[in-house]
Amino acid sequence: MGAERSDNRVDLIIVAVLWVALTGAGLWWATVTNLHPIGASSNAVISDEAFDLLLYLSMPVTTFVVVVLGYSVLRFRVSLDETEDAAPVRSNRLFIAMWVLITVGLSVYVIFNPGFTGLDALAADKNAEMTIEVTASQWRWDYRYVEENIEFLDADGLVLPVDTRILFKITSQDVIHSFWVPAFRVKKDAVPGLITEVYMTTTKLGDFAQDDGFRNQCAELCGTGHTRMRTTVTVLTRVDFIAWVDAQRNAEVSG
């Protein structure tokens, strides 16, 4: 009995050391690696920070399971024809109590942060400088710039000014589609008979040629043309944007 006990202690120490080491390595990897594609909106910051926080929090949990699993397999394995039983440990109050406490604690914590904090941050500012109506249909995107009063049917691209709070009002004319710009971390379904809304602030210049995150890609399966249902997205300086709007108006007049 005594020998078994001290054995257990050695096992526990080794597991603890491996756990700390692997967690450290994992956290180091998570901090030096950038897993995120380009982020070009205020919403992208909220989304990426949520991901990073969850990645840090899940690191010790993941490594704990991996270490216990791996160590047990290597340390406690016996040959296939062994028939002797292990000691019948059916419970361990301390381990169970710790486990329940930690899982409850972590689960509740992530509800508030990054969960509720993120939702609150996304919904905080409802004063948009600019409104764009996005209308989806099989299989095209229409954009209407409300204040500028210009409209693009079956558009090739969406052009926006930088550092501008924008409200997208999204709807569909047939089935459900989804307005998704990866670089903005913005996704909202286009639902027939419903107008859905997204607020976000552009924070970076960019265009599709430079980074393919600047695209509006339909993210909800909508039939045969779903794959191809995308337009480019371009973010211009505010000055360039005004010039662009004028050019569009002139084109409309002369066209």
Partner 1 sequence: MSILKGIVGGILGYLLGAALVTSIRAATGAEPWDFEVATMGAYLPTVVGWLLGVGVWEYWARPWFGREAKPYTTVGWRRYFNFDTDHKVIGIQYLVSFLFLFFLAGLFAMVMRWELMNPGRDILTPSSYNGFMSLHGTMMVFVAVAAIVGAFGNYIVPIMIGADDMAFPKLNALSYWLVPVVVAFLTASFLVGGYDTGWTGYAPLSVTTRTGALFFNLAFLTLGLSSIVGAINFLTTVHKMRAPGMTWSRLPIFVWSIYVTSWLSLIFTQFIALAMLMVVFARTLGMAFFEAAAGGDPLLYQNVFWFYSHPAVYIMILPAFGVTLEILSHFSRKPLFAYKWAVGGMIGIAAMSAFVWAHHMFTSGMPDVLLKPFLASTELISIPTGLIMLSALGTIWQGRLRLHVPMLFALGVVFNFLFGGITGVFLADAPLDIQLHDTYFVVAHFHYVILGGGIFGLFAAVYYWFPKMTGRMMNETLGKVHFWWMIIGFNFTFMPMFWIGMNGMNRRISDYVPNLGGTNRMISLAGFFLGMSFVIFLWNYIYSWWRGADAPSNPWGATTLEWMTSSPPPLENFDVIPEVVGGPYTYGDKSAKHAILEPRL
Helix (H, G, I), strand (E, B) or coil at 34: coil
The answer to whether 35 and 198 have CB atoms below 8 angstroms apart is: no
Alpha-carbon gap, residue 235 to 125, rounded angstroms: 21
The answer to whether 135 and 172 have CB atoms below 8 angstroms apart is: yes
State which of positions 148-177 bind Cu ion (CB under 5 A).
177
In the complex, minimum distance from the CB of residue 35 to partner 1, in angstroms, rounded to a whole number: 6
Residue position matching structure tokens 């371009």? 234
What is the token pair recorded at 83?
């028939």
Beta partners for residue 201, in sequence order:
165
Alpha-carbon gap, residue 78 to 183, rounded angstroms: 52
Radius of gyration of the chain (CA): 27
Q: Is 8 in the site for partner 1 (CB under 8 A)?
A: yes
Q: Which range binds Cu ion by CB under 5 A, 67-75, 101-109, 220-228, 235-243?
A: 220-228
In the complex, minimum distance from the CB of residue 170 to partner 1, in angstroms, rounded to a whole number: 8
Tell me which of 132, 226, 235, 236 binds Cu ion, using CB under 5 A: 226
Q: Which range binds partner 1 by CB under 8 A, 18-26, 111-119, 148-156, 241-249?
A: 111-119
Tell me which of 226, 236, 241, 245 binds partner 1, using CB under 8 A: 226
The secondary structure of residue 115, as a DSSP letter, is I
Tell me which of 9, 228, 238, 249 binds partner 1, using CB under 8 A: 228
- Side by side, the strands of the sheet bearing 157-161 are 157-161, 230-236, 215-217
Q: Is 89 in the site for partner 1 (CB under 8 A)?
A: yes
State which of positions 180-199 bind partner 1 (CB under 8 A).
180, 182, 185-189, 191-194, 196
Alpha helices for 111-227 (secondary structure H)? 117-123
The answer to whether 102 and 137 have CB atoms below 8 angstroms apart is: no
Q: Is 220 in the site for partner 1 (CB under 8 A)?
A: yes
Q: Is 118 in the site for partner 1 (CB under 8 A)?
A: yes
Alpha-carbon gap, residue 104 to 115, rounded angstroms: 15
Tell me which of 22, 222, 235, 236 binds Cu ion, using CB under 5 A: 222
Q: Is 90 in the site for partner 1 (CB under 8 A)?
A: yes
What is the token pair recorded at 253?
């007049």
Q: Is 174 in the site for partner 1 (CB under 8 A)?
A: yes
Q: Is 218 in the site for Cu ion (CB under 5 A)?
A: yes
Tell me which of 18, 176, 205, 207 binds partner 1, using CB under 8 A: 176
Q: Is 150 in the site for partner 1 (CB under 8 A)?
A: no
Tell me which of 10, 20, 104, 153 binds partner 1, using CB under 8 A: 104
